């Protein structure tokens, strides 16, 4: 009971304190709305544009999740071949690192030119491109550092590589995989928003932000930022919940 109260109460309290401090800061400096909106301006923005918020959130959400799913599938596959084959690992690593080092904002115009007008596709692609790297690397490292004994207990019985992967290598890598997925979900979210904000005639919360900017509706812009933060938190904790379900054993093992 007490711990449950603390788990919910402490974060809620810290958010409230944050909002009060923000309100105080704006009030003390006497900033007008076009410099910085205060929390008390936000409810009005939500009330006026709630339909747009719902639609935008949905669009941002599904495209992020779609991109992340692609990243999981591709990252797992790539991590598998890299984890099992030294040659592939040595060959692909520099390429991957180089690709990861490119600031992804530069890919927005490239994608936009490659797939003109395919806004949904571009957004999903960006979410995917920006987030598959940590997944692939974590799976590759997890598989390549598997102690040989783990493999040998099944290999000595004539088990196939696939069987060893499903029964031992994959579950053993799950904690690392979810660690990477937590990073990846945040990255995918950033990727989605990047495209939404930069593209003309975009969709999602990013586009709503842009329209707030073009109409000089500052409370709306701040309201979008808060909505983005909330959506980001939801996505992150969805991954944490999945981690509890599929790799909860790793947590217990540590204590």
Partner 1 sequence: MSDLIDIRGVAHAYRTPSGPLPVLDGLDIAIPRGEFCAVVGPSGCGKSTLTRLVAGLMKPDKGEVRLDGAPIRGPRKNVGMAFQNPVLLEWRSILDNVILPLEIVAPSMPRKERVARAEELLAMVGLEGFEAKRPSELSGGMRQRASLCRAIVHKPDVLIMDEPFGALDNFTREDLWQTMRQLRAAEPFTAVLITHDLRESVYLGDQVVVLSGRPARTQYVMNVDLPDERPLDILYTPKVGEMLHVLRDQIKIAQGRGEGPGEGAAA
By C-beta, is 184 or 247 nearer to partner 1?
Answer: 247
By C-beta, is 31 or 249 nearer to partner 1?
Answer: 249
**What's the min distance (Å) between Cβ of 72 and partner 1?**
19
**What's the min distance (Å) between Cβ of 173 and partner 1?**
11
**What's the min distance (Å) between Cβ of 147 and partner 1?**
7
By C-beta, is 225 or 250 nearer to partner 1?
Answer: 250
By C-beta, is 59 or 138 nearer to partner 1?
Answer: 138
| DSSP string across the chain | -HHHHHHHHHHHHHHHHHHHHHHHHHHHHT--TTT---GGGHHHHHHHHHHHHHHHHHHHHHHHHHHHHHHHHHHHHHHHHHHH-HHHHHHHHHHHHHHHHS-GGGHHHHHHHHTTT-HHHHHHHHHHHHHHHHHHHHHHHHHHT--HHHHHHHHTTT--HHHHIIIIIHHHHHHHHHHHHHHHHHHHHHHHHHHHHHSTT--HHHHHHHHHHHTT-HHHHHHHHHHHHHHHHHHHHHHHHHHHHHHHHHHHHH-
Question: Using alpha carbons only, how large is the chain's radius of gyration in Å?
Answer: 22
Q: How far apart are CA 52 and CA 232, in angstroms?
A: 18
**What's the min distance (Å) between Cβ of 86 and partner 1?**
14
Q: How far apart are CA 208 and CA 49, in angstroms?
A: 10
Tell me which residues touch partner 1 (CB under 8 A). 147, 149-150, 152-159, 163, 167-168, 171-172, 174, 247, 249-250, 252-253
CB neighbour class for 232 (10 Å; exposed up to 12, middle 13-18, buried from 19)? middle
**What's the min distance (Å) between Cβ of 153 and partner 1?**
6
**What's the min distance (Å) between Cβ of 180 and partner 1?**
18
By C-beta, is 44 or 251 nearer to partner 1?
Answer: 251
**What's the min distance (Å) between Cβ of 251 and partner 1?**
11
By C-beta, is 175 or 212 nearer to partner 1?
Answer: 175
By C-beta, is 27 or 249 nearer to partner 1?
Answer: 249
């Amino acid at each position: 009971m007490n711990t449950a109260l603390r788990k919910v109460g402490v974060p809620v309290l810290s958010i409230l304190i944050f909002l009060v401090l923000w309100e105080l800061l704006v009030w003390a400096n006497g900033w007008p709305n076009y410099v910085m909106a205060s929390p008390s301006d936000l409810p009005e923005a939500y009330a006026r544009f709630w339909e747009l918020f719902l639609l935008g959130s949905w669009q941002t959400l599904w495209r992020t999740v779609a991109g992340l799913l692609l990243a999981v599938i591709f990252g797992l596959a790539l991590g598998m071949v890299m984890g099992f084959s030294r040659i592939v690992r040595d060959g692909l690593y520099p390429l991957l690192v180089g690709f990861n080092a490119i600031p992804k904002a530069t890919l927005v115009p490239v994608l936009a030119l490659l797939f003109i007008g395919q806004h949904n596709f571009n957004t999903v692609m960006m979410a995917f491109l920006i987030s598959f790297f940590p997944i692939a690397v974590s799976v590759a490292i997890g598989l390549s550092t598997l102690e040989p004994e783990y493999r040998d207990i099944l290999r000595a019985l004539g088990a196939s590589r696939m069987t060893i992967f499903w029964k031992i290598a994959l579950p053993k890598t799950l904690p690392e995989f979810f660690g990477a997925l937590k990073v990846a979900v945040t990255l995918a979210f950033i990727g989605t928003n990047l495209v939404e904000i930069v593209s003309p005639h975009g969709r999602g919360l990013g586009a709503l932000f842009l329209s707030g900017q073009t109409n000089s509706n500052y409370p709306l812009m701040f309201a979008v930022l808060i909505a983005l933060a909330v959506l980001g938190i939801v996505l992150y904790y969805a991954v944490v919940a999945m981690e509890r379900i599929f790799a909860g054993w790793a947590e217990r093992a540590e204590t």
